Amino acid sequence: MPVEERLFSLVLALLASEHGLTKSEILSTVQGYRQRFAISGDNSNLERQFERDKDDIRELGVPLEMIEVGADTGTNQNVRYRIPRGDYELPGDISFSPEETTLLNLAAMVWREGSLSGESRRAMLKLRSLGVTSDDPVIGYAPRLRVREAAFEPLNSALERHVLVRFEYLKPGELSARVRTVAPIALIQHQGRWMLHGEDQDAAGTRNFLLRRIVSAVTTTSKRYEPFPPEATATALRELDEIWQQRTAIVEVEPDSDAATRLHKRRGTTVLPDGTLQLHYSDANIFADEIAGFGPEAVVRSPQPLRDAVRDRLIRTAADHG
Same domain, 200 and 265: no
Indicate if the pLDDT at residue 80 is higher than 80: yes
Indicate if the pLDDT at residue 129 is higher than 60: no
Average pLDDT over residues 64-71: 76
Counted residue by residue, the chain has a size of 322
| pLDDT at residue 204 in the model | 74
Same domain, 37 and 116: yes
| pLDDT at residue 183 in the model | 92
In the sheet that holds 21-22, the strands lie side by side as 21-22, 79-82, 65-68
Same domain, 34 and 129: yes
Same domain, 202 and 259: no
Contact between 298 and 262 under an 8 Å Cβ cutoff? The reply is: no
Contact between 233 and 197 under an 8 Å Cβ cutoff? The reply is: yes
Question: Which residues, other chains included, contact 38 with Cβ-Cβ below 8 Å and sequence gap of 6+?
Answer: none
**278 HSE (CA, 13 A, CB side):** 11
Same domain, 221 and 292: no
Indicate if the pLDDT at residue 119 is higher than 60: no
Query: Rounded CA gap, 138 and 17, in Å?
Result: 9
3-class secondary structure per residue, 115-166: HCCHHHHHHHHHHHHCCCCECHHHCCCCCCCCCCCCCHHHHHHHHHHCEEEE
Query: Rounded CA gap, 270 and 266, in Å?
Result: 9
Domain for residue 146, yes or no? no
Give the residue with greater pLDDT, 296 vs 19: 296
Listed ranges 103-117, 126-140, 197-211, 295-309; the one with the highest mean pLDDT: 295-309
Number of domains making up the chain: 3
Binning pLDDT at 50, 70 and 90, where does residue 302 land? Answer: very high
Contact between 18 and 137 under an 8 Å Cβ cutoff? The reply is: no
Domain for residue 242, yes or no? no
Alpha-helical segments (H) within the chain: 3-16, 23-29, 44-59, 85-88, 98-115, 118-129, 152-161, 231-246, 258-264, 284-292, 304-320
| pLDDT at residue 238 in the model | 86
Domain stops at, among 237, 271, 302: 237
Binning pLDDT at 50, 70 and 90, where does residue 160 land? Answer: confident
| pLDDT at residue 143 in the model | 41
Same domain, 254 and 230: no
Domain for residue 15, yes or no? yes
Binning pLDDT at 50, 70 and 90, where does residue 71 land? Answer: low
State how far the alpha carbon of 247 is from the alpha carbons of 111, 280, 281, 283, 302, in Å.
Answer: 37, 6, 6, 9, 11
| pLDDT at residue 276 in the model | 93
Least confident of 53-67, 117-131, 157-171, 181-195: 117-131
Query: Rounded CA gap, 299 and 311, in Å?
Result: 9
Percent of the chain with pLDDT over 90: 19
Query: Rounded CA gap, 97 and 264, in Å?
Result: 27
Indicate if the pLDDT at residue 137 is higher than 50: no
Indicate if the pLDDT at residue 167 is higher than 90: yes
Domain for residue 145, yes or no? no
Average pLDDT over residues 278-291: 89
Give the residue with greater pLDDT, 135 vs 56: 56
Nearest Cα to Cα of residue 289 among 320, 274, 272, 311: 311
The dihedral formed by the CA atoms of 289, 290, 293 and 298, expressed in degrees to the nearest 10: -120
Binning pLDDT at 50, 70 and 90, where does residue 90 land? Answer: low
How far from the centroid of its chain's Cα atoms is residue 39's Cα? Answer: 28
At residue 197, what is the residue type? H
At residue 232, what is the residue type? A
Same domain, 267 and 288: yes
Average pLDDT over residues 125-142: 48
CA angle at residue 28 from 24 to 31, to 5 degrees? Answer: 125
Same domain, 132 and 13: yes
| pLDDT at residue 7 in the model | 85
Please write the tens of the pLDDT for every residue from 257-275: 888 888 988 888 999 999 9
Strand-pair partners of 169: 178, 214
Mean pLDDT, rounded, of the chain: 80
| pLDDT at residue 144 in the model | 38
β-pair type (298-302, 270-271): unpaired
Give the residue with greater pLDDT, 213 vs 112: 213
Domain stops at, among 75, 104, 138: 138
β-pair type (163-169, 193-200): unpaired
Same domain, 262 and 192: no
Please write the tens of the pLDDT for every residue from 35-61: 888 888 888 888 888 888 888 888 777
- 278: containing domain: 247-320
Query: Rounded CA gap, 33 and 28, in Å?
Result: 7
